Each structure stands twice: as structure tokens, then as C-alpha cells.
Amino acid sequence: MQIGHDSVRVTKDYEIIWSSPNHLYAILSGLLCGMGFLTFYLALTSGEVSRVVVLTATYPVVTVLIAATFLAEPLTIKTALGTALAIAGVILLSV
């Protein structure tokens, strides 16, 4: 039985054989996603839902900043304006 693009094989003895380093990324992604959900639920239990949801919905701002910093993505006026409006919205809702 094959799953994906030959990255995982299961033998007749039900032994799982990983033939690609991508499994490390999959495991790491699952762990980080789980940690993200846990911290989100912890934030919901300790803070106001209206503020927690607004703050967690601003993850595209972090994506823009990481892309501009590490990937040398161009920061266009449209992207900068959207980022500024997202930050302004968080500030207005936190007052």
C-alpha cells in the first residue's frame, strides 16, 4: 500500500517505512498545530473571547512580516495598508 508520493510504504507485516525526509516536517507541523490549538484554548479560557479572537485573526500580519524579513518579499502599498488597518483594528478593539 502506498500513501502519497512514495514517502511512506507499509509492508505486508504492517511495518511503516519512511523513504523521504518530509515525514519530519509532517510530524513537526502536527506538533506545532497542536500547540497552537492548546494556546488558543488557554487564551479563550483566560481572556475575553472578543479580544482573543481578534488577536488570533491577525496571523496574516505575522506572515507578512516574516515574508518581508526572511524571504525578501516586496512590501507593496496594498499589503502595508492592509497590515496597518489590521493593527489599527486590534488597537481599537482592545481599548
CA distance 75 to 80: 6
Query: Which is nearest to 63 in space by CA: 83, 84, 43?
Result: 83
Region 21-48: mean pLDDT is 88
Domain ranges of the chain: 1-46, 47-95
8 versus 81: which is more confidently predicted? 81
Q: What is the pLDDT of residue 59?
A: 85
Place of cell 511495518: 15
Report the chain's terminal Cα–Cα distance, integer Å: 56
Write the pLDDT tens digit of every residue in 44-68.
Answer: 999 888 888 888 888 888 899 999 9
pTM exceeding the 0.75 threshold for the entire prediction: no
How many Cβ atoms from other residues are within 10 Å of residue 62's Cβ? 10
Give the cell for residue 20: 523521504
Q: What is the pLDDT of residue 39?
A: 94
- For strands 2-3 and 16-18, give the pairing: unpaired
Region 7-21: mean pLDDT is 71
Of all residues in the chain, the percent with pLDDT exceeding 70 is 86
